[in-house]
Amino acid sequence: MNPFINPMTCLPFLKNYIIEPNRLIKNDKKRIKKYRDKAFKRIVKYAYTVPIYHKKYKNAGVHPDDINVIDDAHKLPFITKKDLMKSYPIGITSTNYKKRSELLASTSGSTGKPIFFYVDFSALSKAVLLQLRLFHSFNIDWKKTKYVSVGNLSEATADRVFKEGFLDKLPDFLSKNLVSNINAFGNIKHLINELNSHRPDIIMSYPATFQQLAYFKKKNYLDNLNPKLIIASGSCLDDYAREYIESAFDCKVIDMYSSAEAASCIAFECKKENMHVNCDLFHLEVVDENMDNVESGKKGHIVMSRIFGKGTPFVRYTGMEDWISIERNQNCDCGLYTDIIKNGVEGRASTNIILPDGRVFPASSFAIVPMILKELNTYKVIQFQIVQKNINNIEIHLVIDEDLRDEGPSLDLIFKKIRETYLLKAGQNVNITVKEVKKIKSLPGKPSPLIISKVKIEDGERVLDL
């Protein structure tokens, strides 16, 4: 049944539509804490019905009854990417949950280690409500605003799942007033024509995509595109990229921290340029290399708990592999009372893939290996990396699980399928080589880069014949 005509899903959404966008506007600290405590206790109780969590909690000697407030989170064991990968598919959702009511999603594989998980309507709807919170902070009326997301619409990506699980279910009279999706990685002429036609007030996309669009805006190919606000998400927004994009479009660029596992916006930059955590819906911890919590203001590895939704829960999840510093319980002049991420998010910076036809792919959108492995029903590739030698030559490096080497499809078939799929994505002018490696190197305390490239963005833009 369509969730918008099912009272069991529609009524909670309407209630949250009224309450959630404004909850953090200098609300009483005690009320916010009470809400967080209740939400965390509820999600831990649900997680206990999920086999992988149930097993870990049993082994750790902890029960949901031991968790009374969110500060009790330290009593729970961590959940890792490896835990979820090993337990997929039957061990990552509640034994009482009906999978036909949820959608299969995947992470981008931005560290070369993707996972698959399930999301439900209640989780997807939070993405909209948190977008409204962002709009409210900039005094934007969504009912009078054209909003376009230029994203990755490949199978199981966050954008695709949100479109299928939420946008496509909207009644016709609402759908035109909410976000519309455009594929960021099709023909560049088509993308330019779509944006010139839509003339959105707000655009959300990857920093790399905005840099590419800014280039064409400066070259007068996007005369009809004059947004009031640009939202950059999915990878690191550095100072140079921000200034370049703002100079081209003459509008504010804000940074948003989101992830596939979060199903929505974890934190966003306000008009005072502070990165606010949506701390009523997420509990973020910061730990050192020994997995011990660090004090407020110190940098460490992020541990994320999503305290809403069903499907696959993420409670004390370490798999995002980003590094942050948080200052707790801050009152901001913008009107929000939240935790604040200081000096951005490290670990999200990634090199882009530049193709001969001018298309620019951020790492998360060129990582299609997980989709191929899912199609072949194999888990023998435990990590991968993409190395772009020059604009016409790309290597795909794969690390193979020795225990699974001789199980399922052959390595020859896997390599062939990966090469063929990347040729379709990159074009016949690009030489694709797939090879096995024993190890993918990383710097101390940092995740290994998904993409290594010696190509500059101008190399692709110069050869684009518009």
Q: 252-290 in b/e burial notation, b at 16+ Cβ within 10 A?
A: bbbbbbbbbbbbbbbbbbbeeebbbbbbbbbbbbbbeee
Of 321, 349, 377, which one is at a domain's C-terminal end?
349
Give residue 387's pLDDT: 93
Quick one: residue 349, left, alpha or beta (phi over 0 = left, psi -120 to 50 = alpha)?
beta
390-448 pLDDT, tens digit per residue, is 999 999 999 888 888 999 999 999 999 999 999 998 988 899 999 999 988 865 544 56
Give residue 235's pLDDT: 78
The span from the CA of 416 to the CA of 420, in Å, is: 6
Residues 357, 261 share a domain = no
238-267 pLDDT, tens digit per residue, is 776 788 899 899 999 999 999 989 999 999
Give residue 464's pLDDT: 46
The span from the CA of 157 to the CA of 434, in Å, is: 23
Residue 6 pLDDT level (bands cut at 50, 70, 90): confident
Residue 108 pLDDT level (bands cut at 50, 70, 90): low
Residue 157 pLDDT level (bands cut at 50, 70, 90): confident
Q: Taking a C-beta distance cutoff of 8 angstroms, is the pair 299, 288 a contact?
A: no
134-152 pLDDT, tens digit per residue, is 998 899 988 888 899 998 8
Residue 349 pLDDT level (bands cut at 50, 70, 90): low
Give residue 294's pLDDT: 92
Residues 319, 358 share a domain = no
Residues 30, 150 share a domain = yes
**pTM across the whole model:** 0.77
The span from the CA of 263 to the CA of 382, in Å, is: 24
Residues 454, 315 share a domain = no
pLDDT at 163 over 60: yes
Mean pLDDT of all residues in 345-369: 76
Give the residue among 265, 273, 23 at the shortest CA–CA distance from 123. 265
Give the residue among 378, 371, 350 at the shortest CA–CA distance from 422. 371
Mean pLDDT of all residues in 182-209: 89
Give residue 97's pLDDT: 66
Give the residue among 362, 349, 356 at the shortest CA–CA distance from 152. 362
Give the residue among 117, 110, 109, 101 at the shortest CA–CA distance from 52. 117
Residue 402: which domain range? 353-462
pLDDT at 173 over 60: no
Residues 409, 266 share a domain = no
Beta bridge partners of 451: 386
Give residue 354's pLDDT: 86
Give residue 325's pLDDT: 93
CATH of the domain at 88: 3.40.50.12780
Percent of the chain clearing pLDDT 70 (strictly above): 90
58-94 pLDDT, tens digit per residue, is 999 999 999 999 999 999 999 999 999 999 988 999 9
pLDDT at 462 over 70: no
Least confident of 179-183, 198-202, 321-325, 409-413: 179-183
Tokens of 300: 């460490």
Residue 340 pLDDT level (bands cut at 50, 70, 90): very high
Q: Taking a C-beta distance cutoff of 8 angstroms, is the pair 301, 318 a contact?
A: yes
Over the Cα atoms of the chain, what is R_g? Answer: 22
Tokens of 66: 């031991």
Residue 52 pLDDT level (bands cut at 50, 70, 90): very high
Residues 155, 28 share a domain = yes
Q: Please give the backbone phi and psi of residue 192, each rounded to the nearest 5 degrees, phi first.
A: -60, -45
Residues 134, 228 share a domain = yes
The span from the CA of 88 to the CA of 70, in Å, is: 27
Residue 199 pLDDT level (bands cut at 50, 70, 90): very high
Give the residue among 149, 213, 230 at the shortest CA–CA distance from 461. 213
Mean pLDDT of all residues in 310-314: 93
Tokens of 314: 């993420």
297 to each of 78, 324, 331, 339, how far by Cα in Å?
22, 9, 15, 11
Residues 113, 50 share a domain = yes
The span from the CA of 134 to the CA of 359, in Å, is: 29
3-state class (DSSP) for residue 17: helix
Give residue 27's pLDDT: 67
pLDDT at 26 over 70: no
pLDDT at 109 over 90: no
Give residue 445's pLDDT: 44
CATH of the domain at 432: 3.30.300.30
Residue 112 pLDDT level (bands cut at 50, 70, 90): low
Residues 151, 119 share a domain = yes
Of 302, 319, 349, which one is at a domain's C-terminal end?
349
- Consecutive H or E run containing 104: strand 103-106
- DSSP structure class, residue 73: G
Least confident of 252-256, 302-306, 341-345, 411-415: 341-345
171 or 271, greater pLDDT: 271
Residues 186, 82 share a domain = yes
pLDDT at 37 over 60: yes
- DSSP structure class, residue 142: G
* Residue 38 neighbours by CB under 8 Å, 6+ apart: none
Domain count, the chain: 2
Give residue 356's pLDDT: 87
Of 349, 368, 399, which one is at a domain's C-terminal end?
349
Q: What is the mean pLDDT of the chain?
A: 86
Residues 83, 61 share a domain = yes
Residues 404, 439 share a domain = yes
